[in-house]
Structure 1
């Protein structure tokens, strides 16, 4: 492939840089919010937000990541990908608003806070789809800009409302606002579509059948958001708040894994069907992922003494939770290349099964352990989940490479890539 390692690292670095800045800003948003409320209130707000984020992931079920790969390989045009997401929008947003309103009014500290948090799912779905459409057109810089601006907007909102004395509303407003701002800016960057009509229901169903593996892979990234409601249910809202505080601060560690996954998918798709070339690019992705594991290992040591200084003594246990989750972040970083290799080689079902099994085991462990030892023990469930996924995907990728399974051949014509 043209550009080789330098181009791949440049793209990973660009995406990773945007993700880490966005996650750091999001972490600061939670720090400001946490300092203006008790762990119990934070636990309830974080639980509502987590339900919205997970609901958006479930409703999307890997469609956008599948469309990114198909566009990169030339099998569909970027306008067709956009038409399919447009066809899905009406019912996707309707489902997310119903889920958001129901869960937030039931769990939020107050009805007003609940109504605002009900927008989280819709905001996340719009943001991740618009971001994916930009990535499909290789507009990585614009996708990164939208994400960063959105997170900064959320931070400004939480600072203004916290200073005004609206502590509970500050964080509840900042979370959905950050995603909605990202979605709006990304849509501006996308501009008008050449193909104006929406995709048909039949086309959308067909695409979803192909995106099952991507959907399960995306759920793995959302496992930490699934953890928060389970810790709240098993250990109570106070333990849920301690866990949520550490979970949000762990975000900058997972950016490494996410950046590899976002870049490696279209990168490997462009490698084509030449066995030697594809194996070489896969080894490159694996080596980069292994090197990126150093960061979460170092921060696992630094986190415990620093987190109480950021959040206050009431959140001291969050430091230990952070260290355990950082170990899980190491495994997440190693899982990404295996998932992308399997998906690119036409085995998304292997990814789906491996992640479903690991996710199920980990979530059960999280709930059970939270009832026994609170937030700290619950974090071990996340590590268990990622380790099971690592074993299953690693074995699957080894079999696929050994059997010589190849990705489907790209189409002979496709959109010219756009530079950002």
Structure 2
């Protein structure tokens, strides 16, 4: 087995198992809360994207591209320190938002407050573990991710059995386990980090701005559930969330491949080896087969797993499953282009399609509810794939320095 295949196996295996655990948690919440309350919860989770994205600063991709050739580059350590400060600020802003809504709308929304701790822990773990992925230590990356998802599941179930309010049980279990995982990650990675080189926030952003633009543009789409809830209410948002949130495990394998490919293509000076190309093609074909199969079984599987009240979510799920074929293609193309130094193209295409996505979801959801929101999301995937494919085919390759 090649080094690339072995790395991908570890990263994807860990992420798939972790995503399945997360899906199991969301299934429990959907069953306990019903469509409307589940829509409220998923909208709140979607809104954590705002502080998480603002605090990302493009640091994950920066580390993945810098670490393979420059293991002793102190800017990596500085990036991790900046991330710690940025995520703390993001958590504080989210907490302030929850407190305002609780004060003026409903005090029960205080149950969402622990999500502030969760979002900071999740983002900090993601940025820090980029060091392990770049070092080809996929086993550590998989172990940490799977460990924190398993711990969250194990913590949630007893709280539910004890009769704890489901939303409090969910948010507290997520917050405690993400914070614990962050402490473990920092202890494990501390010996690997080089001496800090303080290049200043402006200097760091000069290196990461293009990556950050892509992250911001991509993550804006994660506001889809919140937008749907705002436009047509929590019931339709809950139906749409079944399609957009419970299909998240289906996106794990492609994103895992991208995480492994970026350092590998950088080491190969931007070239795509035959083995890498074969792995990409195999991934696309495999995921397309899985997506189409799930779309086929959705009419039977969804009522069986969630109950008859979720039957109206079947068509949105089928639409999203088919559309994820384009989402996977766009994700892989974005990783390849960034590794080849063409992050500006990725940033522009992501920004254009994300703005379109937000507008399309709001407009179509107002007419067709959850089905319209699903069509808006999928059409954005298609447009982004088309833009990146054209850019990849005709734009040429920027050399890696």
- Mapped to 2, the partners of 1:397 and 1:26 lie a distance apart of 34
Aligned-residue offset at 1:353: 0.5
For structure 1, the 5+ residue unaligned runs are 410-420
Contact 1:21 1:148 in 2 (8 A): yes
Give the TM-score, by structure 1 length. 0.86
CA distance, structure 2, for counterparts of residue 310 and residue 114 of structure 1: 26
How far the C-alpha of 1:105 sits from its partner, in A, is 4.9
Which runs of structure 2 are paired with 1:5-20 in the superposition (5 Å)? 6-20=2-16
Equivalent residue for 2:241, pick from 236, 240, 244: 244
RMSD in angstroms over aligned alpha carbons?
2.4
- Cα distance 1:215–1:290, how it changes in 2: closer, same or farther (>3 A)? same
| 1:255 partnered with 2:215 | no
2: CA distance between counterparts of 1:223 and 1:300? 25
Aligned residue number for residue 293 of structure 2: 298
Cα pair 1:58 1:219 within 8 Å, conserved: yes
Pairing partner for 1:229 from 226, 230, 234: 226
CA offsets 1:228-251 (integer angstroms, 9 cap, x no match):
111111111111122223322101
1:168–1:336 Cα change, 3 Å:
closer
Q: Specify whether residues 37 and 357 from structure 1 end up closer, same or farther in structure 2 by C-alpha distance, changes over 3 A only.
A: same
Structure 1 pair 304–249 and aligned structure 2 pair: CA distance change class (3 A):
farther
The aligned residue for residue 380 of structure 1 is 375
The residue aligned with 1:412 is: none
Offset of residue 41 of structure 1: 1.6
Partner of 1:215: 212
User: SS of 2:67's equivalent?
Assistant: helix
Q: Provide closer, same or farther for how the CA distance between residues 216 and 52 of structure 1 changes in structure 2, counting only shifts above 3 A.
A: same
Q: Unaligned regions of 5+ residues in structure 2, if any? A: none
Aligned twin of 1:335 = 330
How many angstroms does 1:85 deviate by? 1.6
Q: Distance in 2 between matches of 1:136 and 1:83?
A: 16
Distance 1:305 1:44, change over 3 A: same
Matched position secondary structure for 2:114 = helix
1:314 to 295, 309, 333: 309
Select which of 311, 324, 334 maps to 2:319. Answer: 324
Q: Which of 140, 143, 158 is 2:141 aligned to?
A: 143
Q: Report the CA distance between 1:224 and its aligned residue.
A: 4.9
What displacement does 1:221 show?
5.1
Offset of residue 76 of structure 1: 5.5
Are the equivalent residues in 1 in contact too, given 2:350–2:384 (CA < 8 A)?
Answer: yes
CA distance in 2, matches of 1:54, 1:179: 18
Q: What is the 5 A alignment of 1:4-403? A: 6-72=2-68, 74-75=69-70, 77=72, 80-103=75-98, 105-106=100-101, 110-166=108-164, 167-192=166-191, 195-197=194-196, 199-201=198-200, 204-219=201-216, 222=219, 224-272=221-269, 278=272, 280=274, 283-284=277-278, 286-293=280-287, 294-400=289-395, 403=396
* Contact 1:146-1:183 at 8 Å conserved across structures: no
Relative distance call for 1:239 and 1:109 in structure 2 (3 A) is: farther
Q: Distance in 2 between matches of 1:139 and 1:352?
A: 28
1:290/1:212 Cα in 2 relative to 1: closer, same or farther (>3 Å)? same
Offset at residue 114 of structure 1 (A): 2.6
Check whether the contact 2:36–2:234 (CA below 8 A) recurs between aligned residues. Answer: yes
Q: Distance in 1 between matches of 2:38 and 2:73?
A: 40
Tell me how far apart the structure 2 counterparts of residues 285 and 214 of structure 1 sit (CA, whole Å): 24
Distance in 2 (CA, whole Å) between partners of 1:328 and 1:146 is 31
C-alpha separation in 1, matches of 2:203 and 2:281: 35
Is residue 87–residue 200 contact of structure 1 (8 Å, CA) maintained in 2? Answer: no
State the shift of 1:223 in Å: 5.0
Q: Cα offset for 1:397?
A: 0.9
Q: 1:384 to 1:334 in 2, by over 3 A?
A: same
Q: C-alpha displacement at 1:194, in angstroms? A: 5.3
